[in-house]
Structure 1
Amino acid sequence: MTEQEKTNEVPLSMEAGTLLKNKRESLGMTQKHVADRLRLRVSVIEDIENNRFESQQVATFTRGYLRSYAKLVGLDEKNVLAALEQHSEVHVQEQETEMQSFSRKTKHEKHNSRIMLLTWVIAIVIVGISAAWWWQNQQEDSLTQVVSESSLDAEQMAVDIEKIDSISADELIASTPAEIAPTMVESVVESEPAPVSAADDSAQAVTAEVVDAVATDASENEPAMVEVAEESTEPSVVVPEGMTLLTMKFAADCWIQVKDVNGRTLVSGTRKPGQDVELAGKAPFKVILGAPEGVTMTFASEPVDLSGYTSGKVARFTLPL
């Protein structure tokens, strides 16, 4: 074996960058000299000698850089590339190991997230059951309170009835208004047995006098009530001085609008049968009738002739005509 072959023999256990670096140093060359000869940056030579190869560069540029570097320092490029591939496989295996560990970590985190989700669901169910139990207790308490209040009201009513039963007829008549006293006196007299003593006769006479007095007061008050009712009757429309009375009676639905001499709207809208209109204002009036065939009008107590307006057409006119 020649000396040149011994020089080119390199141990495959060493990485490609380390082989090139050792060879360069044995030749006394600097990284700057190698970079200038290969027309590369010094940083690229440093990355190669430190075995910092990016995965993308291994497939494209790194092999070319290593071949050029090996030729420059006199190494067999096959040995250098073999060392590169050997250590690249180790690197790939390490990456796969890291990926597997990362996958296990991901599965573990996913498992933990499922446990956390299940825990939250159980907590929500417990809170919901507690809320339902509390609401049911509140409803039962409310029902118990209502029942107790009802029982108290019933007891109070029973006590009131007992008190009313214990009141004598005379006390009941004395505390009753004068309007209903005669009726109550009569019912009491009818319900009691016939008098048998002189004291009962005098009491009956007093009762009769009370009944007569109340009846007399009621008969005296009746005319006054009639007079008040008569006075409350609404008077007819009063026409102020300088204004004119306009009346409308409707036999069918009709939309109307009436404006006075100042353009002020006196009435507007739809009127139905029976909804008569009486208004007073300053003439002349501008009148619009949607269905004039169903309207009867008087202006200043004089009838207004609407026979000239055909059915189904809107009537527009000014009063007086």
Structure 2
Amino acid sequence: MHAVNFSDVQSAASRIEGIIARTPVVNSTEIDKLAGRTVYMKCENLQHIGAFKFRGATNAIQLMGQEAENGICTHSSGNHGQAVALAAKQRGVPSYIVMPENAPRIKVEGVASHGAEVILCEPNLAARISTAKSVLDRTGAVFIHPFDNPNVIAGQGTAAKEMIEECGGLDAILCPIGGGGLMSGTSISTKAMLPNARIFGTEPVGADDAARSLEAGSFFPQTGPNTICDGLLTSMGELTWPIIRDHVEKIVRVPDEEVLEAMTLIHNIFGMVVEPSGAISLAAVLREDFKSLRGIETIGIILCGGNVDPEKLPF
């Protein structure tokens, strides 16, 4: 029994409707030719705060009662922090966001722009956790985990739900895996709405803990990640790993240079900026090892975010 089911996603969709943006799904004949298939892309880079994370944060904070009045705290490399900051602002409560000192500047500025208090820490999970604990002790705020929270996972699952509603039958869906909140929510929606669709994750070669875990059938934590995909540096959680283990067929590993090529391709065709973590699934469907898979004619992918420092753009 998993922590989240499709009825939770459906409830989340109703709860956050009118607060989150229903982002567009785009397609390109040029990309279809390169992939050898029809590829639909859900543009969560155009979501409020520039990433899918606003869905889960909004659902979780909307479900809170009086306990939210002292504020909301989280730790984040960027997008979840921005999402919590804006969702808390809309709820009218303070927010406290612990971020690694090497987080992209655009993401730190985004968090601060929504009135959150930003607390920087050393760039490792232990420092994030200890710093967040000190903030909770100081403020009495409530902690919202970036991905290992049932209400967050349910909210993230609404992106795939919308894409499937718009595209109809898809043979496969791909999305990136960091902590696994989006992948878990996507898996739950896909299995309920398209039981025969194949579900794939995508990961950087230099941060492939989920791929190693799935291949071994047991959890491997992330250690020493080395990738430009700053949103995919964390380990999966206690709630997300079982969902991924049970629903994801395969996780495609992608080198950073191919991620940069996918970012450039999206910009050249659509004029959109997508961050590395957002472009990795497109890079995956263009890899020969994925193109060799049979029985897949239509694919849905989630461009999960668009927050990247301008000087790090490859175009």
TM-score, scaled to structure 1: 0.17
Q: Between Structure 1 and Structure 2, whose CA radius of gyration is higher?
A: 1
The structure that is helix-richer by fraction is 1
TM-score, scaled to structure 2: 0.17
